[in-house]
Amino acid sequence: MSAETLIHRTVLLAEAVDALSVKPDGIYVDCTFGRGGHSRRILQQLGPQGRLIAFDKDPAAIANAQTIDDGRFQIVHDGFVCFAQALEALGVAQVDGVLMDLGISSPQIDEAERGFSFRFDAPLDMRMDTTRGLTAAQWLAEADEADIREVIKTYGEERFAKQIAAAIVASRAESPITRTGELARLVAQNVRTREPGQDPATRTFQAIRIYLNRELEELSATLPQIIGRLAQHGRLAVISFHSLEDRIVKHFLRDVSTADTLPSWAPVRAADIPEAPVRLVGKAVRPSAEEVRDNPRARSAIMRVAERTAGVWKGQA
């Protein structure tokens, strides 16, 4: 694999960091360090008293982060689901901004041995954190057919989940499915139609990856933690890459930005209704045509931004 292939292009780099309205002396969190594009840009905008804390599960990302020789920067080798716990351990009560760049990074896709891509024949791994948890091969060897079907249907939105699951169970009875090429071929044999330009294995690989890494569950569990730690006027910017992620983010932000409603007959003035703890900032942002042309993997990205208000947060801190 060439160095050029493994280059990671940070999506919505300027837009995301600008959305945080970085204060020179503020405390910021990059929930998904990846290869550090957003983190490095935030550090450029911080003053001597500023601070940046980043999270990542991926040992390769941690190794990359350790090349940043900056006393204002700290990396946490864990998923962002431990957001509140980690900040507590670091003695941080509130932060001024949080960035979440969800999904999978280009190096993770392009490094064949990670097993995320059907473009290479490689060990079937798919773990974001290669130091813990079941590999995709181990899960496919152990899971019930009904569970495999449900995962592929729910997380991949795959119409042919039933046929794929049955084929996996039948195939593993003959020999274990241990490589990406085996799984991709098996899926292709059981997907009758597919959107133009999309590989038949796309949805199945996405589904297994999301399930194994608990991506949606951890996102849902982390968003309330972030709101509980944001200082007033602090910003949250979330970049999603598929509809399941964006749906969670969109619905959560809609709910926490909506003030309590009372019946029209209630003797309470609108001004006396408690303020919602969050306000939405602008409309959803998508990459420019120029960025998509230069980096086709940006085409599905969408960013939503919210700001903490003075409203009382009654959820998880």
Q: State yes or no: 125 annotated in a binding site.
A: no
Helices (H), the chain: 13-19, 37-45, 59-65, 83-89, 106-110, 136-142, 145-156, 161-174, 180-188, 202-212, 215-229, 243-256, 289-294
Q: State yes or no: 206 annotated in a binding site.
A: no
Closest by CA to 117, choosing from 204, 56, 242, is 204
Q: What is the pLDDT of residue 109?
A: 64
Three-state DSSP at 200 gives coil
Query: For residue 146, what are the contacts with CB-CB under 8 A and spacing of at least 6?
Result: 165
Q: Locate the domains of the chain by residue range.
A: 13-106+215-308, 130-212
Give helix then strand counts, H and E, for the chain.
13, 7
* Cα angle: 102, vertex 79, 215; to 5 degrees: 50
CATH of 130-212, one of 2.60.40.3500, 3.30.530.20, 3.40.50.300, 1.10.150.170: 1.10.150.170
Q: What is the pLDDT of residue 91?
A: 97
Half-sphere exposure of 247 (CA within 13 A, CB side): 6
Query: For residue 259, what are the contacts with CB-CB under 8 A and spacing of at least 6?
Result: 273, 274, 275, 276, 311
* Cα angle: 83, vertex 87, 91; to 5 degrees: 170
282-298 burial code (b ≥16 CB/10 A, e <16): eeebbbeeebbeebebb
Q: State yes or no: 56 annotated in a binding site.
A: yes
* Cα angle: 208, vertex 12, 202; to 5 degrees: 25
Q: State yes or no: 120 annotated in a binding site.
A: no
188 in Cβ contact with 201 (< 8 Å): yes
CATH of 13-106+215-308, one of 3.40.50.300, 3.40.50.150, 3.40.50.2000, 1.25.40.10: 3.40.50.150
Query: For residue 277, what are the contacts with CB-CB under 8 A and spacing of at least 6?
Result: 227, 256, 308, 309, 311, 312, 313, 314
Neighbours of 267 (CB within 10 A): 6
Q: State yes or no: 38 annotated in a binding site.
A: yes
pTM (predicted TM-score): 0.88
Q: What is the pLDDT of residue 264?
A: 55
Neighbours of 264 (CB within 10 A): 5
Encoding tokens for residue 28?
């910021």
pLDDT one digit per residue (tens) for the chain, 317 residues: 333 334 567 899 999 999 999 999 999 999 999 989 999 999 999 999 999 999 999 998 999 999 999 999 999 999 999 999 999 999 999 999 999 999 776 666 656 667 667 777 899 999 988 888 999 999 999 999 999 999 999 999 999 999 999 999 999 999 999 999 999 999 999 998 777 778 899 999 999 999 999 999 999 999 999 999 999 999 999 999 999 999 999 999 999 999 765 555 555 555 556 789 999 999 999 999 999 999 888 889 999 999 999 998 987 66
Neighbours of 138 (CB within 10 A): 16
* Cα angle: 119, vertex 218, 309; to 5 degrees: 125
